[in-house]
Structure 1
Amino acid sequence: MEKFKEIFRSLNLNDNDLTLYGNNVAKVNTTNFNNKKQGKLILMTSINPTPAGEGKTTTAIGLADGLNLINKKAILALREPSMGPVFGRKGTATGGGESEVVPVDDINLNFTGDIHAITSANNLISATIDSELYWKSSLNIDPTKVIWKRCVDLNDRALRDVEIKISKTITRKEQFTITAASNIMTILSLSTSVEDLRLRLENSLVAYTFDNKEVFIKDLNIVGSLMVILKDAIKPNLVVTKYKTPTLIHCGPFANIATGTNSIISTNLGLSLGEYCIVESGFGSDLGFEKFMNVINYSNDLIPSCVVMVVTIRALLLHDDFNNNFKHLDQHLKHVKLYNLNLVVAINFIKGDDVNNLNSLKEWLTNNNYDFEINEAYTKGAEGAKNLAILVDKLSNKKADFKKLINNNDSLELKIEKVIKNFYYLNEFSFSNKALDKLNEINNSDYKYYPICMVKSFASIDGNDSNQSNYKMEIKNLEVNTGAKFIVVYTNQVMSMPGLNKEPNSKEIDLINNVVVGLK
């Protein structure tokens, strides 16, 4: 524990700033660090990933370790793992090999109880709504117009669509989401302070009355109880990598449904404590990066000093890039160039990759004037990311003339069009009748200038996963998330409650001699 505390004291954190959870995990009271950002933000993204992922987290950890190796004060700010993917197909979210955040078991399982608190707060809202229906309260809630969904932190496809019986005469349809896709997860991740969290909760829309009036959480009179449940969950968790790099792990909204980045509070804390704060956005640049720039960075106070694009040979092969002049990779790189940001390509070279493919990739990057380095942190630790760290440090200090893609006062239609044309490379799209009705409703409301959060498949840039001919993207629906303060725009049918695959990781995990084994 003393070695653990020494690392935190090097960040000018004292014992009063920390609440210890065992010997190597702590929570940080961020009150003393608000609005003191001084470090440079490094944003990790990637091309469209394979089912196993492309090593964004592993690369982020290696880069942070590498920066500290060259005597730069670097801090990681990562997403908090969900037990759904841990017990499902994708596995853990703490890196791997020599590029890992510890303690792996604790972080990937129950950790400090944040996700339990988020689940409980989310479901207290649902339980209260149903109680108001049961008692036929003066709120006059229409059971067919409840938009708040229950959640659970597991992959459970049977809960996607259920019918619940509230009383002998009242039943309603319900949908569960996985906790990482819940509204409370997104609200907490976007909150900038305790006060901001309270306001977002108060103004979260949960249902409509029989005469179509809005019902907010504040109308349920439970905001105080929610704040009590979330009082510790709002504090970032602090751990370290194998190479003793301080790491903030806090919140984990999915990027194909929500924003896909750790909490703004933890990012701001990292920027206030270090020279560099390395942040990872979810899935490919068509999702996590786009949402970071247009939703997370809505106020333009989190502009990356450098963007790192993670690339693997296996993903390039999956997208047939070696036979297609690296078109897929080029499209992702252009996403970053839209904003005139400094850019580094990190080649996550994996044992067994073909060296000829590597040479072809390096030649293309060189001919197209992209800066790149190979990341070998998985096998070599901090030393394996040293060259990558040197390059990122160099480019992060290069002046970049940042430009916005979406303006805050752009119309809702124009915001959608800019994302579809510039990120999905589609010139045509359409609105369903349902989406047109919702578009008209939002345009006549106070929410019309909110940023947009696109819902799209992570497997392909344009969402055309089945390679349909004459494919045309359709906007299927729009919803206002008043707590998160953005408009959800649905394109593909994306599941907010995953299911277990045929042979999930849960069949291989065990506790042997009090040691957790089988976590991937």
Structure 2
Amino acid sequence: MGFKTDIEIAREAQKRPIQEIGAKLDIPTEHLLPFGHDKAKVSQDFVADARARKRGKLILVTAINPTPAGEGKTTTTVGLGDGLNAIGKRAAICIREASLGPNFGMKGGAAGGGMAQVVPMEDMNLHFTGDFHAITSAHNLLSAMIDNHIYWGNALEIDERRIVWRRVMDMNDRALRDTVVSLGGVSNGFPRQTGFDITVASEVMAILCLAADLDDLQNRLGDIVVAYTREKKAITCRDIGAEGAMTVLLKDAMQPNLVQTLENNPAFVHGGPFANIAHGCNSVVATQTALGLADYVVTEAGFGADLGAEKFFDIKCRKAGLSPSVAVIVATVRAMKMNGGVAKADLGSENVSAVQKGCPNLGRHIENVKGFGVPVVVAINHFHSDTEAEVAAVKAYVAEQGAEAILCRHWAEGSKGVTELATRVAELADAEQSQFAPLYPDEMPLFEKMQTIARRIYRADDVLADDKIRAQLKEWEAAGYGNLPICMAKTQYSFTTDPTRRGAPTGHSVPVREVRLSAGAGFIVAICGEIMTMPGLPRKPAAENIRFNEEGLIEGLF
């Protein structure tokens, strides 16, 4: 195969008409709403029917903390789905949609890699079926209606200093983090300070990904708290009267998108909240639809297990009544070496001692995921520079942790390179050994929930929060929001809030600088350390390399 780029491989894909892919899951043609020949939305009526059927087994793919060396979590999710189909199982994949922000910033694409990809790759990374545009529009309609309400007399007596609903756009743009709006005189309204978040951090995105159907969506949108009066009475989206129009804008976006892998297996790609600043899971609608149609459903949670898996278990599974059968933790020899102190430039040289030194990061994730009562298997995503001794070191370490590590070559070989993992995952799922339970009960006080996550998952000594934050949490508890789970907004690169601290550090604390109520989505966001809800572009953004070539084909999306 050589070393073709992901986009070159995707371009050579032998795609089948989307109706054939739907037929693999018994989705009738009349319930597929095609976007071209290779992608379609699944109708609301069929989704409702599918979700009521017998449930398949849910398999979570998560990972160690990401490093510049690369881990390949989505690649493994896709590879495992193909592998399960290759060994004769009826399997479907559920992943998130890609945000334009990272595509043009650091990442350059989010559809898997090598021979384990979801296609059409270019479309998935650039607008896709328009879901994110609909979410952006719905969110900003509410923003416009809040300012419009104030302009026309402010009958709700909103305190302009206490408007908590910001605007969003699906792009990394640090210049918009803090803005002043309504400058220019009387006709433009009342000037106030606000800002933008990236669309994937919007509460509307979280709501769409957690809502059961259009009625639930509208109800949740109505529950969004957008502002407060001077007496600190909460003002909701329902008070503004925007929830009906927002639901109409989101009608098509609520329908899951069906596409295919390179091996023509079905993949649902729907929703896309960030995992470092939001809850990081694809939609409940897509997951439950897949569970009604397939025997095994492979899904992923964003970034490392300290963020993605924890939120998948404590938010998505709790809210949707899901019970995962198996968790796969993706690791690479290269990432173990980086955790062991090796510079990126030196990763090509064998260094077994560095691998061993870096393995505690993996070990902590294994222990954490097991703590939720879910059986764990480790997938070692193979790189051509890995040596037998390095792979053996990871396998030996994982065995000491009471789990099994399996070498996977899906990037280079597709399903052929991942049949051992697929076989083991199916065995574990069929054994029904999972005793899944969330980390904390609903009734635990909000600050204690934060402490529980920080101590049990991050191994921190405590959560640092000033009196203002603690008082805010108490107010929310008094207002009836005390039973909500916590969504930690934290760096993905470390168990700590310091992105440079790799490995498995102890002796640290978690500073919470701000808390936000997502009453519609049904969680409290705790913003930790220096994490930003509107990312910036790097010094050399990926956008500089994205262009059409002489043949009119897109280049630069990895």
**Counterparts of 1:50 and 1:103, CA distance in 2:** 27
What letter matches 1:474 in structure 2? Answer: P
CA distance 1:154–1:300, shift in 2 (3 Å): closer
| Residue 371 of structure 1 pairs with residue 404 of structure 2 | yes
TM-score between both structures, scaled by the size of structure 1: 0.96
Which stretch shifts more, 37-46 or 466-475? 466-475
Gaps of 5+ in 1: none
SS of structure 1 residue aligned to 2:318 = coil
Q: What corresponds to 1:5 in structure 2?
A: 19
Q: What corresponds to 2:7 in structure 1?
A: none
Residues 229-254 of structure 1: per-residue CA shift (max 9 Å, x gap): 10000001000001011000001101
2:468 pairs, out of 409, 434, 446, with 434
| Residue 334 of structure 1 pairs with residue 371 of structure 2 | no
Which stretch shifts more, 439-448 or 179-188? 439-448
SS of structure 1 residue aligned to 2:417 = helix
* Conserved? CA contact 1:76–1:246, under 8 Å: yes
What letter matches 1:339 in structure 2? Answer: F
What letter matches 2:450 in structure 1? Answer: I
TM-score between both structures, scaled by the size of structure 2: 0.90
SS of structure 1 residue aligned to 2:440 = coil
What letter matches 1:36 in structure 2? Answer: R
| Residue 23 of structure 1 pairs with residue 33 of structure 2 | no
| Residue 234 of structure 1 pairs with residue 254 of structure 2 | yes
**Counterparts of 2:172 and 2:263, CA distance in 1:** 33
CA distance 1:368–1:34, shift in 2 (3 Å): closer
**Counterparts of 1:113 and 1:214, CA distance in 2:** 32
What letter matches 2:513 in structure 1? Answer: K
| Identity across the alignment (%) | 38
SS of structure 2 residue aligned to 1:243 = coil
Which stretch shifts more, 260-269 or 3-12? 3-12
CA distance 1:348–1:237, shift in 2 (3 Å): same
Q: What corresponds to 1:182 in structure 2?
A: 202
Which stretch shifts more, 324-333 or 231-240? 324-333
* Conserved? CA contact 1:91–1:505, under 8 Å: yes
Gaps of 5+ in 2: 1-14, 341-353
| Residue 194 of structure 1 pairs with residue 214 of structure 2 | yes
Q: What corresponds to 1:78 in structure 2?
A: 95
What letter matches 2:541 in structure 1? Answer: P
**Counterparts of 1:291 and 1:2, CA distance in 2:** 35
1:55 pairs, out of 72, 88, 97, with 72
1:212 is displaced (CA, Å) by 2.3
Residues 131-154 of structure 1: per-residue CA shift (max 9 Å, x gap): 112222312222211111111111
* Conserved? CA contact 2:318–2:438, under 8 Å: no
1:174 is displaced (CA, Å) by 1.4
SS of structure 1 residue aligned to 2:479 = coil
SS of structure 2 residue aligned to 1:477 = strand
Q: What corresponds to 1:297 in structure 2?
A: 317
Residues 16-39 of structure 1: per-residue CA shift (max 9 Å, x gap): 211000000000012322332420
2:84 pairs, out of 63, 67, 73, with 67
CA distance 1:407–1:505, shift in 2 (3 Å): same
CA distance 1:144–1:211, shift in 2 (3 Å): same
CA distance 1:37–1:422, shift in 2 (3 Å): farther
Which stretch shifts more, 212-221 or 267-276? 212-221
**Counterparts of 1:53 and 1:487, CA distance in 2:** 31
What letter matches 1:20 in structure 2? Answer: P
1:476 is displaced (CA, Å) by 2.4
| Residue 497 of structure 1 pairs with residue 514 of structure 2 | no
**Counterparts of 2:132 and 2:358, CA distance in 1:** 43
| Residue 310 of structure 1 pairs with residue 348 of structure 2 | no
**Counterparts of 1:147 and 1:106, CA distance in 2:** 34
* Conserved? CA contact 2:460–2:507, under 8 Å: no
**Counterparts of 1:222 and 1:17, CA distance in 2:** 30
1:472 is displaced (CA, Å) by 2.5
**Counterparts of 2:448 and 2:200, CA distance in 1:** 29
What letter matches 1:358 in structure 2? Answer: V
> How does 1:105-144 map onto structure 2 within 5 Å?
105-144=122-161
| Residue 510 of structure 1 pairs with residue 553 of structure 2 | no
1:209 is displaced (CA, Å) by 2.1
> How does 1:421-460 map onto structure 2 within 5 Å?
421-460=455-494
* Conserved? CA contact 1:51–1:90, under 8 Å: no
Q: What corresponds to 1:88 in structure 2?
A: 105
1:334 is displaced (CA, Å) by 0.6
Which stretch shifts more, 236-245 or 414-423? 414-423
SS of structure 2 residue aligned to 1:303 = coil
What letter matches 1:463 in structure 2? Answer: T
* Conserved? CA contact 2:177–2:534, under 8 Å: yes
What letter matches 2:151 in structure 1? Answer: Y
1:53 is displaced (CA, Å) by 4.1
| Residue 475 of structure 1 pairs with residue 492 of structure 2 | no
**Counterparts of 1:383 and 1:323, CA distance in 2:** 28
* Conserved? CA contact 2:69–2:338, under 8 Å: no
| Residue 419 of structure 1 pairs with residue 457 of structure 2 | no
SS of structure 1 residue aligned to 2:33 = strand
* Conserved? CA contact 2:51–2:291, under 8 Å: no
SS of structure 2 residue aligned to 1:106 = helix
What letter matches 1:428 in structure 2? Answer: D
CA distance 1:271–1:328, shift in 2 (3 Å): same
Q: What corresponds to 1:104 in structure 2?
A: 121
What letter matches 2:87 in structure 1? Answer: I
Aligned-pair Cα RMSD in Å: 1.8
* Conserved? CA contact 1:37–1:268, under 8 Å: no
**Counterparts of 1:60 and 1:309, CA distance in 2:** 10
SS of structure 2 residue aligned to 1:285 = coil
**Counterparts of 1:60 and 1:487, CA distance in 2:** 29
| Residue 398 of structure 1 pairs with residue 412 of structure 2 | no
The number of aligned residues is 520
What letter matches 2:328 in structure 1? Answer: V
* Conserved? CA contact 1:37–1:269, under 8 Å: no
